[in-house]
């Protein structure tokens, strides 16, 4: 079922999926799907327990998404060094 959703996800201009407890595997799948998007501008994934591994997947994805302006990851249980790596200067 996820394969069918991947094409839908990469065609979105934004995603807001807060409070879903996706954890690292779910966040990683979203990051991989969005990596091929040239239209997504914002990603809001607050309170999904993404952890450092999920945040790293989003950091890797962000460098491939040219129009991305905003990532919200409040209350996701990752290490503080992730915050430094999520700054615009460190991603682009």
What's the pLDDT tens digit per position in 10-41?
Answer: 677 888 889 998 999 999 988 988 887 888 89
- Count of domains observed in the chain: 1
Asked whether the whole model's pTM tops 0.85, one would answer no
In this predicted structure, the answer to whether residue 90 has a pLDDT above a threshold of 60 is no
The domain in which residue 73 lies consists of 2-91
How far, in Å, are 51, 71, 87 from residue 58 at the CA level? 11, 9, 12
DSSP string, 1-65: -HHHHHHHHHT-SEEE--S---HHHHHHHHHHHHTT-SS--EEE-TTS--HHHHHHHHHHHHTT-
Euclidean distance between CA atoms 4 and 50, whole angstroms: 23
- The CATH number linked to 33 is 3.80.10.10
């Amino acid at each position: 079922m996820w394969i069918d959703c991947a094409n839908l996800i990469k065609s979105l201009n934004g995603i807001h999926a807060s409070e879903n407890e996706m954890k690292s595997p779910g966040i990683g799948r979203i990051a991989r799907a969005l990596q091929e998007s040239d239209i997504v501008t914002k990603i809001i994934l607050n309170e999904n327990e993404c952890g450092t591994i999920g945040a790293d997947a989003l950091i890797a994805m962000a460098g491939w998404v040219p129009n991305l302006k905003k990532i919200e990851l409040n209350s996701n249980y990752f290490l503080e060094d992730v915050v430094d790596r999520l700054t615009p200067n460190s991603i682009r």
